[in-house]
Amino acid sequence: MAELENRFTWSLSRDGSFRYCPRQYWWNYYGSWGGWKAEAPGEVRTAYVLKSLSNRWAWVGSLVHSAIEGLLRQAQAAGADGLLAFERPAIGVDRELDALSERMRREWSESRDGEYWRNPKRHVGLIEHEYREAVPPEEWQAMHQRARAALRAFLESDAYQRIRRSSPTRWLPIEQLDSFDFEGTPVWVVLDFALERPDGGIDIYDWKTGEVKPESDRTQLAIYAQYLHSARQIEPTHVSTHLVYLGQTAREFDFRVGEAELKEARGVMRASIAAMRTRLRDPERNGAAREDFPLTDDLERCRVCAFRRLCGRDGA
């Protein structure tokens, strides 16, 4: 099999890591590269495993996303139009919530037992378990309730009702990793959900389980609109976006992506790509040296970072 090449690409999560701490970015995209191989050096393997860990809040978010993805895929696979697709596989609130609870219990136990060290792709790992953080049982219970509330909020949301009334034949591929070219750099995107309206326009939906901050989250949807334009030749003026925040209830923020938002999104991508590439020793080959990616001075960041052992900041 041909050797995988560590190519320079861009994504919003990559940008987030770069902004958080240059060294974290290096561990995520360079220092852990190849850690899946049996012959990987110990530190590379460790970085690869630590990179896969998430904290309890991110875990809740990915569980809720995954539950929504699962039920929408199930409806899509049923192959019928509109409401029928949801009724045939009997998607119901209690059933979905129970499945979520079951999965949370299983993943929590696997994480506590360190299963991710055997296979980080297959088993969820939590930073709290890896670093033996003292999280009281009530806090884990609160996380459980938070996940259930978010999924319930989705199932009771107007957005879900609208999706239920649409034909699955008009849905775009769900949670599918795809990329587009932006000024020579591949940009990765994963749309939570999108459908084609009868008038030919596209509705993009993005589920959020964290802080309600539509102003800053709009950039992400503008990048998605740019993706639809570049990869599918869909005019941004035909795209509507819906940010759906899932807490105790669902709060939806709808907006269209105009030229100003697109310009801003392109500016964010351009500046971020340039800043990342500036740190490379060999931009042509995406060659990076650890010492060019300094550790953050903000020890608060280290306290919740998965790589703190590798940085010698375990006791930060």
Q: Which residues bind ligand SF4 (CB under 6 A)?
A: 21, 23-24, 27, 295-296, 301-302, 305, 307-308, 311, 313
Q: Which residue's CB is nearer to ligand SF4, number 26 or number 227? A: 26
CB of 112 to ligand SF4, least distance (A): 23
Cβ atoms of 305 and 21 closer than 8 Å: yes
Q: Which residue's CB is nearer to ligand SF4, number 268 or number 304? A: 304
Q: Which residue's CB is nearer to ligand SF4, number 113 or number 298? A: 298
Handedness of CA 199, 204, 205, 210 (dihedral sign): negative
Q: Which residue's CB is nearer to ligand SF4, number 55 or number 230? A: 55
Q: Which residue's CB is nearer to ligand SF4, number 10 or number 29? A: 29
CB of 272 to ligand SF4, least distance (A): 18
CB of 132 to ligand SF4, least distance (A): 16
Cβ atoms of 103 and 63 closer than 8 Å: yes
Per-residue b or e along 256-288, where b marks 16 or more CB atoms closer than 10 Å to that residue's CB: ebeeebbebbeebbeebbeebeebbeeeeebeb
Cβ atoms of 50 and 306 closer than 8 Å: yes
The full DSSP string for 255-278 is EE--HHHHHHHHHHHHHHHHHHHH
Q: Which residue's CB is nearer to ligand SF4, number 204 or number 302? A: 302
Q: Which residue's CB is nearer to ligand SF4, number 55 or number 74? A: 55
Torsion of CA 269, 272, 275, 276, to 10 degrees: -100
**Secondary element (H or E) of residue 239:** strand 239-246
Cβ neighbours of residue 271 closer than 8 Å, sequence gap 6 or more: none
**Secondary element (H or E) of residue 178:** strand 177-182
CB of 13 to ligand SF4, least distance (A): 15
CB of 202 to ligand SF4, least distance (A): 37
CB of 7 to ligand SF4, least distance (A): 22
CB of 28 to ligand SF4, least distance (A): 9
